[in-house]
Amino acid sequence: MAAIEQQVAQQPSDIFFAEHVRKAFKAPDGTELLILDDVSLRLQEHEILVLLGRSGSGKSTLLRMLAGLSEPTAGTLLHRGRPIEGPVPGLAMVFQSFALFPWLTVLQNVELGLEALKVPPAERRQRALAAIDLIGLDGFESAYPRELSGGMRQRVGFARALVIDPDVLLMDEPFSALDVLTAETMRTDLLDLWAERKIPTQGILLVSHNIEEAVLLADRILILGSNPGRVRAEIPVRLAQPRDRESQEFRDLVEHIYGIMTSRPAAAPNVAQRGALGIGHRLPAVPVNQLAGLLEELYSLEQGSGNARIGLPDLAEDMHFSVDDLFPLIEAVELLGFAQVADGDIELTAAGRLFVDADVQERKRLFARHLIARVPLAARVRAVLDERHNHRAPGTRFRAELEDLLSEEEAERVLDTAIDWGRYAEVYAYDDNADVFSLDNPGEDEAEGVVE
Ligand SMILES: Nc1ncnc2c1ncn2[C@@H]1O[C@H](COP(=O)(O)OP(=O)(O)OP(=O)(O)O)[C@@H](O)[C@H]1O
Ligand SMILES: [Mg+2]
């Protein structure tokens, strides 16, 4: 699915209005890394907007720009009708985890939120106590952060954000570092504060990569695609609060969003097309054993149900995986041609079934063929080694090439994955200490060929 044609018209009551926002960073070699391209959005009054996207899609980057902490490369950003030119007044942020000061008590940590606003000490104290009470930390005012559980510490972070009586709250995965039960309690508490207007906040923008969390909280969901980040879909959530995860409408919506998030933008290269991807393709960092585990699981689910198509939410549940953990795995098996995804279902390909059935050596040979045919970086490494008379090449040679296309960090990650996959398939060897690629047994498998 291509990025949607966004018709985003500004309304006078909008808290935020963003139009055609683009953000690019400079790579160390001076080339441009495009992170967000042509993003438009509105945050309306009395609305919880959830921005859903996979890791690296640029969600935090977008939040920072809205908060006035970083500038867009191009495009318009307005807060209450005015261009954003610095920190946005009346705005509070909640992060995945907070840097609380260990030498300050809960009360002192919360008061800090008001110091910058030059609120007099007596009022500071009184407002901090009220925020602590509101967020359920009553009785812990004089505790130190180390005495608190992770959930309680996160509550201190929330209190620090709420103490300023924010007009708007920006939250960047505030529940994702918490255990399941604590996260659920805190979501419910936040919804209560919001629905019962115990906080003066007029709008909430929440970043998440958890589909169920989005459907639970949002009035509207924007799905952000990756590479570069773009709004791929806008989904109003019309279910009444409180929402029931087990209800059919809830499950249908989760499934629908799963489908959108796993479909590929039509404009982007299709992995099914051989050679359509360049060597800079961000290979998902999935170890071979996990990849094989997924294929085996698909096979057994298929045998068990008699149905080759497995729903992705069912698969996630079955493997006790979160959505975010499952995505890279799915991307990897699809990239290698062992499974394919359509409309929120996944299905083994013929090659995927062969792989599951094969013994260790056959698996390696099959994997090698698919790796060379479908992963240009692996094919490139192999070709370079084949050409060189000593069949050796330093890792830096490929790293330099990748760094023209990716950030240094990403280049390293992509090369690591190519190393893991290539080693397993015995397409090449790699010596960690020397940082050298080589051919194990040059020439030996030439007769066998590497193309299907
Ligand atoms: N200052 C920077 N310089 C260069 N690249 C950056 C910078 N900040 C972010 N990036 C890159 O921008 C991309 C998006 O990053 P961002 O943190 O916004 O993603 P995200 O959607 O919040 O991901 P996550 O779900 O992992 O938090 C990443 O590829 C990241 O490496
Ligand atoms: Mg982030």
pLDDT of 213-246, one tens digit each? Answer: 999 999 999 999 877 888 999 999 999 999 998 8
For residue 337, pLDDT over 50 is answered with yes
Distance 324 CA to ligand 2 centre (A): 13
Q: Which ligand has its closest atom nearest to the C-alpha of 55?
A: 1
Smallest CA separation from ligand 1 atom 1, residue: 25
In terms of average pLDDT, the best of 134-143, 256-265, 443-452 is 134-143
Atom of ligand 1 nearest to the CA of 224: 21
Ligand 1: does its nearest atom lie under 6 Å from the Cβ of 174?
no
For ligand 1, whether the C-beta of 58 sits within 6 Å is yes
Residue carrying the six token digits 């924007």: 222
Q: What is the mean pLDDT of residues 138-150?
A: 94
Nearest residue by C-alpha to atom 31 in ligand 1:
56
**Atom 24, ligand 1: which residue's CA is nearest?**
55
16-262 in CATH: which number? Answer: 3.40.50.300
- Report the alpha-carbon angle 194-199-203, nearest 5: 60
Helices and strands counted in the chain (H then E): 15, 16
Ligand 1 atom nearest 27 alpha carbon: 4
Our CA angle for 324, 320, 208, nearest 5°, is: 25
* Residue 343 pLDDT greater than 80, yes or no: no
pLDDT digits (tens, 9 = 90+) for 347-362: 999 999 999 999 999 9
Query: Mean pLDDT lowest for which of 89-98, 178-187, 319-328?
Result: 319-328
What's the average model confidence in pLDDT over 10-34? 88
Closest CA to 314 of 302, 349, 235: 302
**Nearest listed ligand to the Cα of residue 172:** 2
> Token pair for residue 167?
């007009």
pLDDT at residue 201 is higher than 50: yes
- Phi, psi dihedral angles at 14 (to 5 degrees): -60, 135
pLDDT at 54: 82
| pLDDT over 90, % of the chain | 66
**Ligand 1 atom, smallest distance to 64 CA:** 18
In angstroms, the CA 145 to CA 46 distance is: 33
How far apart, in whole angstroms, are the C-alpha atoms of residue 207 and residue 174? 8
Domain boundaries, the chain: 16-262, 288-350, 356-438
Q: Is 35 in the pocket of ligand 1 (CB under 6 A)?
A: yes
pLDDT at 345: 87
Q: Is the dihedral of CA 182, 183, 186, 192 positive or negative?
A: negative
In CATH, 288-350 is 1.10.10.10: yes
pLDDT of res. 5: 54
Tell me the pTM. 0.70
In degrees to the nearest 10, what's the CA dihedral of 275, 280, 283, 285? 160
Ligand nearest to the CA of 61: 1
Q: The tokens 């490139």 sit on which residue? A: 380
274-320 pLDDT, tens digit per residue, is 334 678 888 999 999 999 999 999 999 999 888 889 888 788 888 88
Residue 106 CA to ligand 2 centre (angstroms): 26
Q: Distance from the CA of 67 to the center of ligand 2, in angstroms?
A: 14
Tokens of 166: 């924010």
